[in-house]
Every structure is written in structure tokens, then in C-alpha cells.
């Protein structure tokens, strides 16, 4: 039993979110807007959200596979009117409720650990339409202005 628990904990540490992930988010009405802070040859984008209450489960609201070049400063939205990034992608607008969490995963072509994972905790006021929320938890007037160095 102890070995199973240790294995789960070690796995969780290896795949946890990165506070330096090159991603910023904010709200635009009912849509989530995502800014990219590093050039990436993306092969997959997935986004989920959940409440912070005990037992709340993750709900997937964006899933796309393929290949797309993302450049520093690129911004995309969950809006159904937004640009389709991947053939056959599934997306919808997240609830972005106060006291919830949004998890963004971007796989990209590159080195051995070619994945960015960012967890964004929304406070009691929810996600701002004015300020960008960065992976390190800071809010900035412009996207990609937080320190994203390793």
C-alpha cells in the first residue's frame, strides 16, 4: 500500500504545473483568452477547469491535436467564433467561476520534456477582464510580462 502511494506522489510531482510556464490568461466576456509567451511548435492543446471544493472534478473545455506554429504574443480564444487551430478540435467556454482553477497543457515539438503545464487559480472575484493572470499567480496589464525563465 505504501509503495502505491509513493508511486502516485512521485508521478504527481513529475507532471505537476510549472509556475514559469510561458502562458497568460484572462476573460473576454464568456470566453477565455490565452496568450503565448514563447515560440512553440504546438502538437496538442488541452484545457480543463474545476472548482476548488473537495471532490470537484476536472472538466475538459478545449482539446486539439495536430501541429500549429505559435509565436510570442499570439493570442487565441475559446470563443466558438475564434480561429480553429487544429482539425477536429473540441472547445467550449469555461465557466471561470470564482474560487476555481484552470489547467492549460501545451505539448510541443522539441526536447525531452516538451510540454508546458500551467495551473491558474481564480480568486473570489473570478478571472479578470482587465488584467492577465500568469502561471506564477501574478496579474499584469500586458500578457507575457511575468518572468518565465526556468
pLDDT tens track for 99-134: 999 999 999 998 667 899 999 999 999 999 999 999
pLDDT tens track for 8-54: 333 333 467 888 899 999 999 999 999 999 999 999 899 999 998 88
pLDDT tens track for 50-80: 998 888 899 999 888 888 899 999 998 888 6
Sequence-separated (6 or more) residues with CB below 8 Å from residue 81: none
pLDDT score at 83: 59
Name the DSSP class of 136.
Answer: T
Amino acid at each position: 500500500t505504501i509503495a502505491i502511494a509513493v508511486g502516485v506522489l512521485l508521478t504527481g510531482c513529475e507532471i505537476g504545473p510549472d509556475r514559469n510556464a510561458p502562458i497568460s490568461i484572462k476573460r473576454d466576456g464568456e470566453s477565455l483568452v490565452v496568450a503565448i509567451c514563447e515560440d512553440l511548435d504546438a502538437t496538442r492543446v488541452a484545457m480543463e477547469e474545476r472548482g476548488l471544493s473537495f471532490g470537484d472534478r476536472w472538466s475538459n473545455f478545449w482539446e486539439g491535436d495536430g501541429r500549429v506554429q505559435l509565436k510570442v504574443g499570439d493570442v487565441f480564444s475559446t470563443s466558438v467564433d475564434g480561429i480553429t487551430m487544429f482539425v477536429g478540435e473540441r472547445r467550449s467556454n469555461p465557466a471561470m467561476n470564482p474560487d476555481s482553477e484552470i489547467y492549460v497543457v501545451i505539448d510541443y515539438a522539441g526536447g525531452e520534456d516538451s510540454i508546458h503545464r500551467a495551473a491558474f487559480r481564480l480568486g473570489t472575484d473570478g478571472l479578470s477582464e482587465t488584467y492577465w493572470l500568469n502561471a506564477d499567480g501574478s496579474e499584469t496589464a500586458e500578457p507575457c510580462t511575468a518572468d518565465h525563465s526556468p
